[in-house]
Structure 1
Amino acid sequence: MNIIDIFLYDTTWGFIFEIMIRCFVMFFLILIFLRLSGKRGIRQLSIFEVAIILSLGTAAGDPMIIDDVPIVQAFVVMSTIIILYRLVTWAMMKSEKIELWVEGKPLYIVEDGMMVIQDMKKEKYSHDEFFAEMRQQSVEHLGQVRVALLETDGCLSILFYTEQETKWGLPLFPKAYQKSVHLNTENYYSCMYCGMTQHLLHLEQECPRCHNKDWTESLSVPYIH
């Protein structure tokens, strides 16, 4: 194979145009797929940035290992992706709706020590994943948390109650997060599904927020900064 074949091979203007079309289609398919998959798996990067990285990575990888993929085709792909990046960035600056569609928006996961179940469902955010995230930030129970926000990069931002403001709340560590089988009417109990916390008359009582009937004994330990 000569030098010309390495850079051009059998590339035609028609195929270059086809590559550009494929880039446009695949770029937006990647964006749509990542928007549908939620924020959890893209820590520290926005969905838009992940789409750019995936697109450029694929374009750069093929000509390195496939001998009939010339460098000029990868150059066309990468140039097209950069143009798309500039266009979408410009559109996001001009339109809040476009920015919202591409980047998404932060969602409230906890408010006033209770989980916002509707927003968790939107992001397909499981209780196990949520509990693990909170534990990694040294949260022992939801009574310590005033607000938890799921950011567009998939990370949690948390505002804590002061020591004096700390409430009774749903425990997040496995040994404490156990369904209660004996009732002490003097204790507080938390709904294991939404975190609603109250005194109970009996353990089969229905949660007024989510209608769940599983309760665990609450904790009230203040958050240690």
Structure 2
Amino acid sequence: MQFDLQRLLIGEDIPYSFLAEVLARTSIMFFVLLFILRLSGKRGIKQLSIFELAILISLGSAAGDPMFYREVGLIPAILVFIVVITLYKIITYLTGRFEKVEKFVEGKPVKLIHQGKIIYRTFRKETLAYDELFSQLRQNNITHLGQVECAYLETSGDLSIFYFSDQDVVPGLPILPDIYDFPAEDITPGVSYACTHCGETKAVLSSSDVCAICGEREWLQARHEIRVA
């Protein structure tokens, strides 16, 4: 097959005059999409729930194809918009009336940290990685888990954090990268250590001791300093 610059640039059997139609299609679908999103009352992208993200993906697909495919007309795409936004309004109404529908569509917040320790079984069910969890905690000036009374993973993916008061801070797992990445090899008697997987703290006898909560064998010396905001 010979190299065809026109096919590379615009596609096979498509005249350059179609570019003017692409311009018109894109302009129309852009303003239709903007109008639909304005009607739906969308929030900031970081606050989108899974349900709202599904709506945006559906609208994006419906908007994109008629922008540059000749065989896709504008009217079917606009009909898709009408159906999707109608479903959005109906489901939003139902979630406000029925708790079961709300839980199915939006999900519910999940408690990940309690009393300075990771709720290990719950955490393992989520798609959140340790790096992501610790990163969000560090962004709130947290240096070890003992500063956290509890933390919830919201349906938006954000982390809601509640702190111990200074006098109630407990020994906890340090989450600073330069410390967390190097588990203890030598154990000091009488010192509290924290499991690097669940944050369970105790006085261990050796670095190979098994954590009673998660069954792992990696420990870090627990920290006890207060949080500095």
- Report the TM range for the smaller structure's normalisation: 0.7 to 0.9
Which of structure 1's runs of 4+ aligned residues deviate more than 6 A?
none
Verify: 1:107 aligned to 2:107, yes or no: no
Structure 2 counterpart of 1:146: 149
**What is the Cα deviation at residue 118 of structure 1?**
1.7
Cα distance in 2, alignment partners of residues 173 and 205 from structure 1: 23
Does 2:90 match 1:87? yes
Task: Return 5+ residue gaps in structure 2 as ranges.
Answer: 1-20, 22-44
Greater Cα shift, 116-125 or 95-104: 116-125
2-structure distance, mates of 1:43, 1:154: 8
1:128 aligns with 2:131: yes
Other-structure match for 1:186? 190
Q: Distance in 1 between matches of 2:67 and 2:179?
A: 53
Distance 1:43 1:150 in 2: 14
Please give the root-mean-square deviation of Cα atoms over the aligned residues, in Å.
Answer: 1.5
Ranges in structure 1 where 5+ consecutive residues have no aligned partner? 1-5, 7-41
Q: Deviations over 1:93-112 (max 9, x none)?
A: 22211110110000011000
Residue of structure 2 equivalent to 1:46: 49
SS of 2:178's equivalent? coil
Q: Distance in 2 between matches of 1:115 and 1:186?
A: 23
Instruction: Give the deviation of 1:217 after TM superposition.
Output: 0.8
Task: Name which of structure 1's ranges 212-221 and 101-110 shifts more when overlaid on structure 2.
Answer: 212-221
- The whole-number CA distance in structure 2 between the counterparts of 1:174 and 1:66 is 49
Q: Which amino acid aligns with 2:96?
A: M
**Counterpart for residue 210 of structure 2:** 206
The CA distance in 2 between the partners of 1:208 and 1:199, in whole Å, is 12
The aligned counterpart of 1:116 is 119
- What TM-score results when the alignment is normalised by the length of structure 1? 0.78
TM-score by length of 2: 0.77
More contact order relative to length (CA 8 Å, sep ≥ 6) = 1
Alpha-carbon distance between aligned partners in 2 of 1:85 and 1:215, rounded to the nearest angstrom: 48
Which aligned pairs between 1:53-68 and structure 2 lie closer than 5 A?
53-68=56-71
- Work out the CA distance in 2 between the residues paired with 1:112 and 1:63: 53
Tell me the amino acid that sits aligned with residue 226 of structure 2. Answer: P
How big is the shift at 1:203?
2.3
Q: Counterpart of 2:11?
A: none
Count of aligned residue pairs for this structure pair = 185
Q: How many angstroms apart in 2 are the aligned matches of 1:162 and 1:73?
A: 58
Letter in 2 for 1:45: L
The structure whose Rg is larger is: 2
Q: Tell me the equivalent position of 1:33.
A: none
> SS where residue 159 of structure 1 aligns?
strand
The answer to whether structure 1 residue 71 and structure 2 residue 83 are counterparts is no
**Percent of matched pairs sharing the same residue:** 37
Match of 2:200 in 1: 196
